[in-house]
Amino acid sequence: MKISDKVQIIIQRLEEFYPSPPIPLNHTNNFTLLVAVLLSAQSTDKKVNEITENLFNKANDARTMYNLGQDKIYEYIKELGLSKKKSQYIFNLSKRLCEEFSSKVPNNLKVLESLPGVGHKTASVVLAQAFGIPTFPIDTHIHRLAQRWGLTNGKNVVQTETDLKRLFPKSIWNKLHLQFIYYGREFCSARKCDGTVCHICKELYPKRIKPFKHQKA
């Protein structure tokens, strides 16, 4: 099967499964989205949503979060992985937003990446979901699926992002990013599918018998 045919099948099937994929992290504005995405590193979205409910009721903008202080931020998020470091990041990025950006979240990739604790993936998610700017953030689900479906050689997430951006229309990147994630969680996780079980894996590779070995991000 040609890769262009695979791309069309993937687009069609994901649209059938998830025609309107919601943003999985609860938030009320661009700032709370940024904080939620930062907190989601090495944590589940479900746990982040539980934690941020109280945190965002207390502080839902950069100025209030900064005034809350690092120690208080930590008390709200201490159940999450890397909570000490994350509380420091949130405090410091809130401080920078207040001092340099009038407490507003910038809509520039490089500027976002310069904020404490904000890497390429986090910045890309914020641009896509807060500002509607086309990006294709790569998480472990997307990295795994892209390899299983023959869309990338899987050397690293940078290569995977480059390959997916080349193969799929820019106009659907933001939606497709979410569709990949939901499908990867529900049908093609590391435990539920080995490249031979889920709907799309079987359709793309009907003759695949042995489990597919993917490279980790």
Name 68's Cβ contacts closer than 8 Å, sequence gap at least 6.
58, 59
Name 203's Cβ contacts closer than 8 Å, sequence gap at least 6.
9, 13
121 is catalytic: yes
Contact 177, 137 (CB under 8 A): yes
Which residue in 139, 175, 194, 202 is the catalytic one? 139
Which of 126, 117, 115 has the alpha carbon at shortest distance from 34? 126
Name 70's Cβ contacts closer than 8 Å, sequence gap at least 6.
87, 88, 90, 91
Q: What is the DSSP letter of 23?
A: P
Name 162's Cβ contacts closer than 8 Å, sequence gap at least 6.
none
Instruction: Region of 195 please: left (phi>0), alpha (psi -120 to 50) or beta.
Output: left
Which of 26, 22, 28 has the alpha carbon at shortest distance from 39? 26
Which residue in 6, 86, 121, 163 is the catalytic one? 121
- CA 209 → CA 13, 133, 134, 202, distances in Å? 22, 40, 36, 10
Alpha-carbon distance of 147 to 150, in angstroms, equals 5
**Which residues does the annotation mark as catalytic?**
121, 139
